[in-house]
Amino acid sequence: MVEFNYSIPIDYTSQDFRTTDVWSANWTIDFIEQYRKQVRARVAFGTYSNKDIYPALDKYALLAITGKRCAVIGTENPWIEAALLEYNASSVTTIEYATIYSSVPRLFTITPMDFVRKQRNSKNQRQIFDSIWSYSSIEHDGLGRYRDPLNPYGDFQTMTKLTCILKPGGFLFLGVPLNTQDFIQFNLHRLYGPIRLPLLYRNFHVIELLGSGMSTIKGSYNSQHFVVLQNKVGCTNK
């Protein structure tokens, strides 16, 4: 894999390809309630057991969550979904490669292929979201670790696709590893710095970073604070 004429260093020492199907998951009311209790208690939780989501919830509840149609892109545990439900989203749709069954009111799950098929078959009623949330997911796209096709621009393509299902001016809350030096640990993840990050954001206005900024330690992926982006496709610049 070559990245931008060899301008981004790549480490090939951590290759792990998933060779079996992902087991299906079952999200119940009781299961989601465990996460909702953590939100109410304001404790560290989620993928990396931190409090990164709380500033986004508090500051953007009225604009992007309460009474809004929200989507979550890529998930292993429904901590974001639970937080959005706790903040009274009208609906939450999780788009994830693994098959997930949900019996939770207002929480819907679908695989990417089924979502695309549904969109194609509903040309006059395509599903559009008010806000989209993704944490520690897009940096993996196209690296093949999770049985996805190898594609050096998989993350860019995913971001472009998101503009098609997010309303013009809608908010994307994105958490990917931020570092002052671009780096790829193949096939684990990408670290985004001055080379790749502007391209990742190119279809969005950057509103703000909800955190302490980029890591300055080479190869560190510990800085994954939410960045608030706004879909500029269809927006009018003033």
C-alpha triplet 176, 228, 75: angle, nearest 5°: 45
Which domains are seen in the chain, by residue range?
Answer: 25-231 (3.40.50.150)
Indicate whether 123 pLDDT > 50: yes
pLDDT for 111 equals: 92
Task: Give tens-digit pLDDT for 43-66.
Answer: 999 988 889 899 999 999 999 999
Q: How confident is the model at residue 238 (pLDDT cuts 50, 70, 90)?
A: very low
List CB contacts of 201: < 8 A, sequence separation 6 or more.
159, 229
Dist. CA 5–CA 20, nearest whole Å: 33
Taking every pair of Cα atoms in the chain, the longest distance, rounded to a whole number of angstroms, is: 50
At 152, the pLDDT band (50, 70, 90 cuts) reads: confident
Confidence (pTM): 0.91
Token pair 């993350």: residue: 155
**Residue-wise pLDDT tens digits, 68-109:** 999 999 988 999 999 999 999 999 999 998 899 999 999 999
pLDDT at 234: 60
Task: Spell out the SS3 assignment of 154-187.
Answer: HHHHHHHHHHHHEEEEEEEEEECCEECCCEEECC
**What confidence score (pLDDT) does residue 167 get?**
96
The span from the CA of 172 to the CA of 169, in Å, is 10
Stretch (H or E) spanning 56: helix 53-60
